[in-house]
A and B are shown apart, each in its own frame.
Chain A
Amino acid sequence: MLDVKDLEVSYGAIRALHGISFTVEEGEIVTLIGGNGAGKSTTLRTISGLLRPTRGRLLFRGQDLAGMPPHRIVAVGISQVPEGRRVFPLMTVLENLELGAYQRRDRTGINADLEGVFTKFPRLAERKNQLAGTLSGGEQQMLAMGRALMARPQLMLMDEPSMGLAPMLVKAIFETIVEINRQGTTILLVEQNARMALSIANRGYVLETGEVALAGPAKELASNPEVRRAYLGE
Chain B
Amino acid sequence: MIFELIVQQLVNGLTLGSTYALIALGYTMVYGIITLINFAHGEIYMVGAFVGLYLVTAMQWNLLAAMAGAMAFCMVMGIVIERVAYRPLRRSTRLSALISAIGVSIFLYSLMLLIRGAQPTRFPKIFPDRMLSLGVAEISLLQLFILAVSALLMIGLHYLVQKTRVGKAMRATSQDYDTAALMGIDVNQIISYTFAIGSSLAAAGGVLVGMYFNAVFPLMGYQAGLKAFAAAVLGGIGSIPGAMLGGVLLGVLEMLGVAIGLSSYRNAIAFTILILVLLIRPTGLMGRQIQRKV
Contact = CB atoms under 8 A, between A and B. Distances in A.
A164 B294 contact: yes
A192 interface: no
Interface stretch (A18-26, A99-107, A176-184, A212-220): A99-107
A1 interface: no
Interface string A125-167: 0000000010111001000000100010000000000011000
Contacts of B172: 88, 91, 99
Given A98-B168, A99-B172, A50 B291 contact: no
Given A69-B186, A71-B186, A140-B293, A50 B171 contact: no
Contacts of B178: 50, 82, 86
14 contacts: A70-B181, A71-B184, A71-B186, A74-B184, A79-B184, A86-B178, A88-B179, A89-B175, A89-B290, A90-B171, A91-B172, A99-B168, A99-B169, A133-B293
Enumerate the 8 nearest inter-chain pairs by beta-carbon distance, A residue then B residue, closest first.
A74-B184, A70-B181, A103-B184, A86-B179, A71-B186, A102-B184, A99-B183, A71-B184
Given A88-B171, A88-B176, A74 B294 contact: no
Interface residues of A, number: 32
Interface residues of B, number: 24
Interface of B: 165, 168-169, 171-172, 175-176, 178-188, 288, 290-294
The SS class assigned to the A binding surface is loop
Given A102-B169, A103-B184, A164-B294, A91 B175 contact: yes
B90 to A, nearest CB: 13
Contact of A137 (B168, B291, B293): B293
Given A50-B178, A82-B179, A90-B175, A102 B294 contact: no
Given A50-B178, A70-B182, 6 more contacts: A49-B181, A70-B184, A74-B184, A82-B179, A90-B171, A137-B293
